[in-house]
Chain A
Amino acid sequence: MKIENKVLACVDQSPFADHVGDYAAWAAVRMDAPLELLHVIERHPEIGDTRDHSGALTPNAQEHLLSELSEQDEMYTRRSREQGRVFLNRLRERALAAGVASVDMRQRHGHLDETLRDWEPGVRLFVLGRHGQSGAAGGQDMGSNVERVVRMLQRPVLTVTEGFKPPQRVLIAFDGSALTRRGVQMVADSPLLRGLPITLQMAGKLRQDGPREISWAAETLTAAGFDVRQSIRDGEAEKVILETIAAEDVDLLVMGAYSHARWRSLLFGSRTDTLLRAVRIPALLLR
């Protein structure tokens, strides 16, 4: 696959799709990258919707059933294809209006994970909604797909919630780990956040080399032209971060995501999850 370095916005037909599209457009404009809107049509073969309980095996029952089921699938696919096209087209107009130079749109069959895995090589930034169609009612629920998808991908993922506001102030949750150090480097090198004031927040149980790490990060960012404020605070990391977000009116959170094995987060819960549930601003997750 050719390297296109595009921003890929994964949208489903939920109210959040507009905001996913808006943030993706914002990122595409800032990075001067092409934008692609992706809508995955998932079919659900694991759900049976034939309800013929007659239990009778008529002659050629198998052939009849096969043609009946494939007709159903065909109709479903056609309907969702057309719906999706109209919906994507609207998002495309919106992104063009927001000033993105090149907007592509595409619908694919299959599951979201597989599709994103196939698509990853040409993507610079993924944008997806933290509340998917399924989680729309739940408010605090994460879209069911987010953790699975983020764990699978290597590129940064911008997860957004309801509402769009061009980010003005950024908070980088920094813990001195290799992952967040790489993240700082990435932010420094990328045009995405250029010009935005950044708060470097280090919190939780303090590591001995914490101060050294954070000043390295601050220097790196300052050298790249960022206006940086650093803060080291004791206390529970999630709480500290939430407080800073509220106090400084931060509207974009940058953090490393799911650095622990899946079994660990199943047992002890994942900090990424806790934070993502608690904050209502978009989060740029670095892998």
Chain B
Amino acid sequence: MKSLHGEWFSNVRNDLLAGMVVALALIPEAIAFSIIAGVDPKVGLYASFSIAVVIAFVGGRPGMISAATGAMALVMVTLVKEHGLQYLLAATVLTGIFQIIAGWVRLGVLMRFVSRSVVTGFVNALAILIFLAQMPELIGVSWHVYAMTAAGLGIIYLFPYLTRAVPSPLVTIVVLTVVALLLKLDIRTVGDMGALPDSLPVFLIPDIPLNVETLKIILPYSLTLMVVGLLESLMTATIVDDLTDTRSDKNRECVGQGVANIATGFIGGMAGCAMIGQSVINVKSGGRGRLSTLAAGLFLLILVVFLGDWVRQIPMAALVAVMIMVSIGTFNWASFRNLRDHPPSSSVVMVATVVVTVATHDLAKGVLTGVLLSGFFFAHKVGQILRVGSLAEDEGRQRTYRVTGQVFFATADRFVNAFDFKEVIERVRIDVSRAHFWDITAVSALDKVVLKFRREGCEVEIIGLNEASATMVDKFGVHDKDGAGDLLLDH
């Protein structure tokens, strides 16, 4: 499986067919995402071609489809609006550079902190944003458009009952285009949205001044693009891993995404990443190897360049229907039911991720919110596990406190407050053999307790510092060192 041959040629027929299916589905998406980003459709189409082809060779997850994506398009809207396409191309190259660095320093491990709820929030937010992005095509238009869109959705979902040999989105596009041409309907077509590719892509250097001003403009966008691109790519890689029951090389995927984006920036394409929906379609169609990804990219370019005149005639309504399908297919519908079944904290994380993303149109902010909230909730939950019990011994001369559970920043106050410093007593024993001291907050809390008792004239003895706690206390604690009292008095 690891072998080069195995990754490329163990599944040739199915990979080629699946690549074809994916290419047909990629075309409407690439056009739609270009429109979201505010650039000509050719920018998205070139990007999808180049990213798919490059990632086929350098990616870490065979069988995953990468191309121009909605998540990335949403990030670049303002950049394109304010500074134009050339800055987007430069930002795309810079994004690639950052992603390569991220792969080298193995940032992929940070994905551990992205919980399942955050992932669900991410895909739901993405689905909602893709759906909302179709609204401009559906508001204030003639009834023809509604009828066409409805008919398109009908074909997409019903045609597979007839046959699964032909991609139903393709049938939708062909049928709606023919109908629009026959009836000479006056509705918007893809050709109205900007230039389509008329040739193979060529190498070009973004036409921007190479100075600090430019860097200041593109840097924030590139950073966000890097984060969003890697997030979606690694999430998708995990999904493909699960679907095919195989493993992938996540760091190689990060570097691969970077290489693909750099190449794409230099042929006039927009930044992209892995696509959840398309990767699912690919696996469903039998695609498993690198060849499927390569085939998708090549077919896409061939179709677009040679059938450009036909692509121009596709009514936007057909595209909208396909994109609504993508959005419905991406949304995690089970998450509605899960709102009731899952713990409230998970639901809050999921909903917060969705809300922040939809409000800011920035998946990175949404995910950051989700991750931070997960962290808070986790700290809170773990903080519940702390008990301090005590018993008077030795005829009232000594009291033994027994600490059980986790002591860290979130529980340090409760830990300190659990001791009775006003008690008049000779000796205090603190048994921490069943506690864990996690951080310096916990250690200084223990110091504080010890010093407070000492100031009341008690002898303090700490017993059973287990290994984990002992290392923390040895490293950071002051109470058992000379001059501990002075140190406290100095404060």
Q: A45 and B169: CB pair below 8 A?
A: no
Closest to B286 in A: A48
Q: A47 and B329: CB pair below 8 A?
A: no
Stretch at the interface among A15-23, A59-67, A93-101, A156-164: A59-67
- Chain B interface size range: 35 or more
Interfacial chain A residues near B284, Cβ < 8 Å: 50, 52, 61, 65
Q: B328 and A55: CB pair below 8 A?
A: no
Q: A73 and B245: CB pair below 8 A?
A: yes
Interfacial chain B residues near A246, Cβ < 8 Å: none
Interfacial chain B residues near A60, Cβ < 8 Å: 332-334
Q: A56 and B168: CB pair below 8 A?
A: yes
Given contacts A46-B7, A59-B329, A62-B276, contact A53 B285 (CB under 8 A): yes
B470 to nearest A CB, angstroms? 35
Given contacts A53-B21, A61-B280, contact A47 B14 (CB under 8 A): yes
Q: CB < 8 Å: which of A47, A49, A56, A61 contacts B169?
A: A56
A223 lies within 8 A of chain B by Cβ: no
Given contacts A46-B7, A48-B15, contact A57 B277 (CB under 8 A): yes
A54 lies within 8 A of chain B by Cβ: yes
B114 lies within 8 A of chain A by Cβ: no
A58 lies within 8 A of chain B by Cβ: yes
B283 lies within 8 A of chain A by Cβ: yes
A247 to nearest B CB, angstroms? 41
Q: B157 and A56: CB pair below 8 A?
A: yes
Q: A45 and B281: CB pair below 8 A?
A: no
Q: B280 and A47: CB pair below 8 A?
A: no
Stretch at the interface among B41-49, B137-145, B158-166, B347-355: B158-166
What's the count of A-B pairs with C-beta under 8 Å? 121
Q: Name A's interface SS.
A: loop
Closest to A60 in B: B333
- Complex: A78 Cα to B448 Cα, angstroms: 62
In B320-346, the 8 Å CB interface with A consists of 325-326, 328-334
Interfacial chain B residues near A53, Cβ < 8 Å: 17-18, 21, 164-167, 285
Q: CB < 8 Å: which of B156, B160, B285, B325 contacts A50?
A: B285
Q: A45 and B246: CB pair below 8 A?
A: yes
B313 lies within 8 A of chain A by Cβ: no
Q: CB < 8 Å: which of A52, A55, A69 contacts B24?
A: A55
Q: CB < 8 Å: which of A49, A59, A111 contacts B286?
A: A49
Q: CB < 8 Å: which of B14, B15, B326 contacts A57?
A: B326
In B276-319, the 8 Å CB interface with A consists of 276-277, 280-281, 283-289
Interfacial chain A residues near B169, Cβ < 8 Å: 55-56
- Complex: A63 Cα to B164 Cα, angstroms: 19
Interfacial chain A residues near B18, Cβ < 8 Å: 48, 53
B360 lies within 8 A of chain A by Cβ: no
Q: A45 and B244: CB pair below 8 A?
A: yes
Given contacts A54-B159, A55-B169, contact A48 B330 (CB under 8 A): no
- CB<8 Å pairs between A and B, sample of 21: A45-B245, A47-B288, A48-B15, A48-B18, A48-B286, A52-B160, A52-B284, A54-B160, A54-B163, A54-B167, A57-B280, A58-B157, A61-B277, A61-B281, A62-B243, A65-B243, A65-B284, A66-B242, A69-B243, A70-B245, A73-B245
